[in-house]
Structures are given as structure tokens and as C-alpha cells.
Structure 1
Amino acid sequence: MSDASAPTNLLINIILRFGFLIVFAAFFALFAFWNPVFVQGGNLMNIVEGSAVLMILALGMTLIVATGGIDLSIGIALDFGAAFAVVAMKSYGLDWFGAACAGVIGGSIVGLFNALLVVGLKISPFLATLSTFFIGSSVQRIFTNGGGPISHRRMPEEFRNLALGDVFGVPTEAVIAFVLVVIYFIVLERSIWGRRIHAMGMQRSAAVVAGIRVNRILILCFVAAAATCAIAGLIAAANIRMFTPLSGFSYLLDAIAAVFIGAALHSRGRPNIPGTVMGVLFLGMVANGLNLMGLNFNTKDALQGIILVSALALAVAQRKARNG
């Protein structure tokens, strides 16, 4: 009996241990079979380029989740980054670099406000960043008289190249995302600071007893995450030559999903940069593949949701199998 069930048990074990990679490869093969355009170099580059903004936001989210919290205001940081940059160029005549710096400062303000609520007022990160989301959304509506976009058709070419330029044939936004991935990987996965962050996320009270300056690290993490998301805002503004209020919210759920897919893939269930990258690329691949299949909007969104839930469930099962 045990001999007969051995192949089945082996198959189940393989699926649980490598399930997400199998699903990733299976969908890749499905989309390639359905439409050969999917595997062409141009389309694969489109997936990478189209995932750049989400990748940058997911990095910021990974940093906050690694501390044991969550940031529901990453979209606001993106919006503030875009708004500060566009207004700096259009109303104050700053050059592209000055405008980019203004955008990063604008996003950092969001991070500082979150840090004030979490560290200063001891509000939980969920409620604090949710409050920042509502306040930031209202500020944008008030500033734009109800939510109208702020366009800047004479945007400097150097600024536009953040989204439309290339570096040796590779889209600039993909290069920016790659550089940030490398920086985040070194800091979060290979540095003392990263180990302290993960220690906080696993057990904050023990981190305090160990002498880790939890509050200082939290402040730095919130500011760094918001500044990172502001860079995504610069790319978004450069792409369409305008600031569109509340446009950052559309990335929030995907960023959370990518981070938790990545965390589920980790043996200890902690947020990590390679896992987040895998989650973002999976979401980008699915969105691109479903578009090439020619599905209507409602059907595509429903299938994308089902695929995402299934991937998360499989990733969690995979982690349990490794640990069990």
C-alpha cells in the first residue's frame, strides 16, 4: 500500500515544494501557446517595463512589512511625488533634476507623517497609514479643485526620459527599478540594518531588549519607503506629462499581493526582495498574457483575481510543506 502511494506522495511533495514556480512556468507556457507574440523579446521587455512602477512601490511596501507593519499610503506617496515634481516645473520653473528632488521630498513628507503617527502617537501602522491615505486623498482633491489633472506639455526632455528614455536599449524606468532592487536587496538582505529590521518584524519586544533602536529604524523605514514610492510617481508623471490625482491607489492591492506572495515563498514566511520581485513579475506576466488573449475587461479582472488568490494559497501551502 505504501509502495503504491509513494509516487502520489512524491508528486504532491513536488507540487507543494515547487508549486509556485510550476504555476509560473505553466502560465508562461499557456500564454505562449495561446499567442506566440507573448514570448517575443519586445513583449517580454514590455512586461518588465510595464512592471517597473509596481516593482518600485512593492519595494517600499516590502520594507514596511518587514518591520511588522503595513503601509496603505504608498499610493499617496506616489501621487505627492508626481504632484510636487510637476508643480515645481510648471509653476516654479525648476529644471528636471530640481523637480525630481522636489518630488522625492514630497513623497518623504508622507513618510514623515506616517512616522509621526506610528512612532509619536503610537497608532498602529494599519490605522495610521489608512488615515494618511484619507488625508492625502482629500489634500489632492482640494489642491486640484475636485480632482482634475495638472498637465505640463512642455516638460523637459530629461524628465520625460525617466519614463520614455533608454539606457543602452533598456527602458530607463526598468533600469531605475533594477537599481532600486539591488539597493534594497543589499540593505534588507545583506546588511546589519536589514537584520535589525527583520528582528523587529519577527518580535519587536525582543528587538527592544536586544538594544535595537526600534523607533529610529521605523522613522527611517517609513521615510525611505515613501521616498521610493515618490520615484515611481516621477516615472508616472513623466510617462503622461501630467499629475493625475489619486492615480497611485490603483497599485496598492497589487503591491500588497506581490509582497505577500514573496513572503509566502520564503522558508520563514518573512518579506524578502527576491520573493517580491517574483511576485511582481508574476502579476505583470498574468496581466500581459490575459490582455493578449483578448478577454473583455470584466472577465480579465475576474480571472486575474482568481489566479492571484490561487497563487497566494499555493505559495502559503508551499511554505508550510517546507517547514513541515
Structure 2
Amino acid sequence: MTTRANTLRDVLLRFGFLIVFAAFFVLFAFWNPVFLQGGNLLNIVEGSAILMIMALGLTLIVATGGIDLSIGIALDFGAAFAVVAMSTYGLDWFSAACAGVIGGSLVGIFNAILVVGLRISPFLATLSTFFIGSSVQRIFTNGGGPISYRRMPTEFRNIAQGDILGVPTEAVIAAVLVVIYYLLLERSIWGRRIHAMGMQRPAAIVAGIRVNRILFGCFVFAAMTCAVGGLIAAANIRMFTPLSGFSYLLDAIAAVFIGAALHPRGRPNVLGTVAGVLFLGMVANGLNLMGLNFNTKDALQGIILVSALAFAVAQRRARGS
């Protein structure tokens, strides 16, 4: 009996998160057969696209050993710059999209100056950027009112509402970014240097890695990535809504740390982040199909998230033992 108990415990610890994932998948499918329909599964992927993009940017920063609390500001700036470029300055959709990415990159540059140039900790630096960026948005919009542009070009709207071979464009964009991030972070020398920085920065410096240059590039690239999420958000509702990016921050953090806990060495990684995002998307979709009220759904979602994190951490420890 003891041997069987130990075996069961080992299975639960080593595959805990996958068991939780599968259990909730079966539960939602049993509760509402609509959950298993292809259209609904595609909705989960499509609905998770912006969160996936945000979580990828955050994964890059966390891999360096830091944190970025301003990813939502990068999303907001991406949306704002694009909408204003079209509505106020009459730029074409492609130029407006480029303006949005540039706007988001300004957030990354500002963070990089604070962290690399002034040597402020990433937590405090990006928290400051969050407050500054939030205030700028309120001032620019006279208190936080949305900037609508109903005559948005079809090409720009298709960023969120179009499809490529039947697959929603925003899901394709997210998938492309997943591949790019995987190749850069997991299959390149640049990625190895980033992980080295995150695990042992003093050793990385001694090894000759240009830590400051890489860190600067990571903040800028992550912010540009999040700005792409802003383009999708703006295209989806044909407007810029101030401070909308904050709603993705906590879920992005949760997805990144679920993914890190799934890694044997506890490192942030792209595939783990993808698993975390899809898990959160599945839970949100499943709870909606169950018809729960807003407060109950949020409470259950929090409990499920804590359980998933606990199993993921236990799984990492079991692998390390």
C-alpha cells in the first residue's frame, strides 16, 4: 500500500498541472457540450491572442531576472498612437500601425533608461512608468475618455476582425510571435545569454556578456511586442480606451509564472507561457459557459489559478528531487 501511495503521489506531483488542465477540460466539456465545438475552441485561441502577446513580452523581461509592470502602458500607447495617427493625421493603416509600434517602444526605451542608465530596480522603474503612463493617458484624453475612429480602414480592422485561410488574423499574429520568441529565447545564443543573466548576472558579467546592452534591447523589444497587442485591441473596437492594458497585467504575470514553474529549473520559457495562457483562456471560457455570475466567476477563477500554480510548483520540485 505504501508503494502504491508513493507512486500515486509521484504521479500527482510530476504531472499535477497537466492533470488539473485535463480535469477542467473534461469538466467544462461535460457541463456544456458547446465547449468542445470547434468554433468555441477557436474562440478560446482567438480570445487569448492579446494575452498571449503580452505574456510573451513579459516572459522576455522575467527571463532577464526582472519584471515589467508597465506592459499594459505599452499596449495603451500602441493603440493610442495608431488611432491618433489615422484619425488626426490621416495616415494610412500601415503607417498608423508602425506609429503604434513606435509609440509602444517609447515605453520600453524609458524603462531601459531607468533600469540600465539610472540603475533603478526593474520593479520600481516599471511601476513608475505605469503611474506616469497612466497619468499621460488621462491628461491626453481629458480624464480618460475613449478616442473613437469609426471610419477606420478595413485593412487595419482586419488585424483583429479578419482571417487568414479561415484562422483569425489575431491568432495568426500571436502564433507568429510565439515562433519568433521561441527561436530567439530558446534556440539562439542571444537567448542563452538572457537566461544566463537571469540565473547568475555576476557570472554573466564575468563571462563577458554585455548585460546592459542586452537588457536595454529586451525592454524595448518587449514593449514593441505589447504594442502589437494594442493594435489588435484598437482594431477590434475601433477606438483607443485609456488604461485598458492594465486588465491584462495580472493574467500575463500568472501565465509567465505558471510556465516558469513547469520548467525543471524554474526558468521562464515560451512553451510554458503558452500553456499558462491557454489554461487561463480555457478556464475563462468554461466558466462563462457555466453561466456563473460575475463575482462567483472571479472567485472560482482565482481559486483555480492558485491551485494550478501550486501543482506547477510542486511538479517543478518533484522533477528537481
Using the size of structure 2 for normalisation, the TM-score is 1.00
In structure 2, the partner of 1:202 is: 199
In structure 1, the partner of 2:79 is: 82
In structure 2, the partner of 1:20 is: 17
**Structure 1 position 241 matched with structure 2 position 238:** yes
| Equivalent in 257, 261, 285 of residue 288 of structure 1 | 285
CA drift of 1:118 comes to 0.1
In structure 2, the partner of 1:215 is: 212
In structure 2, the partner of 1:130 is: 127
Q: Sequence identity, in percent?
A: 85
**Structure 1 position 140 matched with structure 2 position 102:** no
For the residues of structure 1 that align with 2:93 and 2:310, how far apart are their CA atoms? 44
**Structure 1 position 269 matched with structure 2 position 266:** yes
For the residues of structure 1 that align with 2:127 and 2:211, how far apart are their CA atoms? 22
| Equivalent in 42, 48, 63 of residue 66 of structure 1 | 63
| Equivalent in 37, 44, 56 of residue 34 of structure 2 | 37
Paired letter, 1:271: P
For the residues of structure 2 that align with 1:148 and 1:32, how far apart are their CA atoms? 40
Paired letter, 1:212: I
In structure 2, the partner of 1:7 is: 4
Paired letter, 1:243: F
In structure 2, the partner of 1:160 is: 157
In structure 2, the partner of 1:187 is: 184
Using the size of structure 1 for normalisation, the TM-score is 0.99
In structure 2, the partner of 1:300 is: 297
| Equivalent in 15, 38, 53 of residue 56 of structure 1 | 53
In structure 1, the partner of 2:317 is: 320
Counting matched residue pairs gives 321
1:17-62 per-residue CA deviation (whole Å, 9 max, x = no partner) reads: 0110111000000000000000000000000000000000000000
Q: Which runs of 5+ in 2 are unaligned?
A: none
CA drift of 1:274 comes to 0.3
For the residues of structure 2 that align with 1:39 and 1:197, how far apart are their CA atoms? 39
CA drift of 1:112 comes to 0.1
Paired letter, 2:281: G
Paired letter, 2:111: N
CA drift of 1:290 comes to 0.2
SS in 1 for 2:91: coil
**Structure 1 position 172 matched with structure 2 position 169:** yes
Q: CA RMSD in A?
A: 0.3
Q: Which runs of 5+ in 1 are unaligned?
A: none
1:158-206 per-residue CA deviation (whole Å, 9 max, x = no partner) reads: 0000000000000000000000000000000000000000000001110
CA drift of 1:239 comes to 0.1
CA drift of 1:309 comes to 0.6
In structure 2, the partner of 1:232 is: 229
Following TM superposition, the consecutive aligned residue runs of length 4 or more in structure 1 with deviations greater than 6 angstroms are none
